[in-house]
């Protein structure tokens, strides 16, 4: 009895006994593995149901008309529930952004990699620290030490290309996917 229900652990027994223990071990492992795979495959649909749904994903494109925006003005549009900053930059801002020494940037990126047309800066207006909306869209807002945007939550400063220059945020403001449909309209997403 005890031989079959409790496989012998110690050595020194006959070959038959050792073989029985091995088979029993194999059965334990196989049962355990089947259970683990089963639980994981049953769990996945429930976990994945919490990811963005098809309609949430479908809402993920918007067209924006840029023609009303004057030089030095910004607008904020909502895309995927997030603010997108669109700024028509001044010549000085473009020059300031282009003249920065890349070596002193935390998240190095030349100005040319931040824009498709130097005049139009299009960014997700969410601080890369913990997700607040930085100030700087209105002409009366504080723009931080680098003339771009300033996040009041924990004090991150972004420059005129939306690059992180000072404060706790690790990365530049994110760039959404967008394309110019005409000279004065873009599709975001």
Partner 1 sequence: MAAPQFKNPVVRWIDYRLPIFTQLNHEYNEYPMPKNCNYLWSFGAIAMVVLITMIVSGITLAMNYTPHTAYAFNSVERIMRDVNFGWLIRYIHMNGASMFFIAVFIHIFRGLYFGSYKAPREILWMLGVVILLLMMATAFMGYVLPWGQMSFWGATVITNLFSAFPIIGDHIVTWLWGGFSVDNPTLNRFFALHYLLPFVLLGVVFLHVAAVHVHGSNNPVGIDIKGPQDSLPFHPYFTIKDTFGLGVFMIIFAGFVFFAPNFMGHPDNYIPANPLVTPAHIVPEWYFLPFYAILRAVPDKLGGVLAMFGAIAVLFVVPWLDTSKVRSANYRPLYRQFFWVLVVACILLGYAGSQPAEGIWLIVARVASIYYFAHFLIILPLLGKLERPRPLPASISEPVLKGGGRLATAAAAKPMEKA
Give the residue numbers annotated as catalytic, written as ranges.
Answer: 154
CA atoms within 13 A on the CB side of 19: 3
Contacts of 153 (CB under 8 A, 6+ apart): 127, 129, 130, 132
Helix (H, G, I), strand (E, B) or coil at 18: helix
**168 contacts ligand FES (rule: CB under 6 A):** yes
**95 contacts ligand FES (rule: CB under 6 A):** no
CA 171 to chain centroid: 11
Instruction: Determine the size of the site formed for ligand FES (CB under 6 A).
Output: 13
Strands (E), 80-154: 82-88, 120-124, 147-151
Q: Which does 156 bind (CB under 5 to 8 A by kind): ligand FES, partner 1, none?
A: ligand FES
Q: Which does 167 bind (CB under 5 to 8 A by kind): ligand FES, partner 1, none?
A: ligand FES
Residues lying near partner 1 in the complex (CB under 8 A): 47, 50-53, 56, 60, 76, 78, 80-83, 126, 129-133, 152-155, 168-170
Compare residues 123 and 169 and give the one whose CB is closer to partner 1.
169
Q: Which does 51 bind (CB under 5 to 8 A by kind): partner 1, ligand FES, none?
A: partner 1
Shortest CA distance to 71 belongs to which of 92, 97, 85?
A: 92
**127 contacts ligand FES (rule: CB under 6 A):** yes
Compare residues 7 and 168 and give the one whose CB is closer to ligand FES.
168
Terminal Cα distance for the chain, rounded: 69
Residue reference for tokens 């945020």: 169
**21 contacts ligand FES (rule: CB under 6 A):** no
Contacts of 98 (CB under 8 A, 6+ apart): 110, 111, 112, 118
Q: How far is the CB of 90 from partner 1 (least distance, A)?
A: 24
**109 contacts ligand FES (rule: CB under 6 A):** no
**151 contacts ligand FES (rule: CB under 6 A):** yes
Strand pairing partners for 88? Answer: 120
């Amino acid at each position: 009895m005890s031989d079959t229900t409790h496989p012998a652990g110690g050595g020194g027994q006959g070959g038959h006994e050792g073989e029985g223990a091995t088979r029993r071990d194999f059965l334990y492992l196989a049962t355990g593995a089947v259970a683990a795979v089963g639980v994981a495959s049953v769990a996945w649909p429930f976990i994945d149901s919490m990811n963005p749904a098809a309609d949430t994903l479908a809402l993920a494109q918007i067209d924006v008309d840029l023609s009303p925006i004057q030089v030095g003005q910004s607008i904020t549009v909502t895309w995927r529930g997030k603010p997108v900053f669109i700024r028509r930059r001044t010549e000085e801002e473009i020059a300031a952004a282009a003249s920065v020494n890349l070596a002193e940037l935390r998240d190095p990126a030349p100005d040319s990699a931040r824009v498709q047309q130097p005049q139009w800066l299009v960014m997700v207006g969410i601080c890369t620290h913990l997700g607040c909306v930085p100030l700087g869209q209105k002409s009366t807002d504080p723009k931080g030490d680098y003339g771009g945007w300033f996040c009041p939550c924990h004090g991150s400063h972004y420059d005129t290309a939306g690059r992180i220059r000072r404060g706790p945020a690790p990365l530049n403001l994110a760039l959404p996917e967008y394309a110019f449909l005409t000279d004065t309209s873009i599709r975001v997403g």
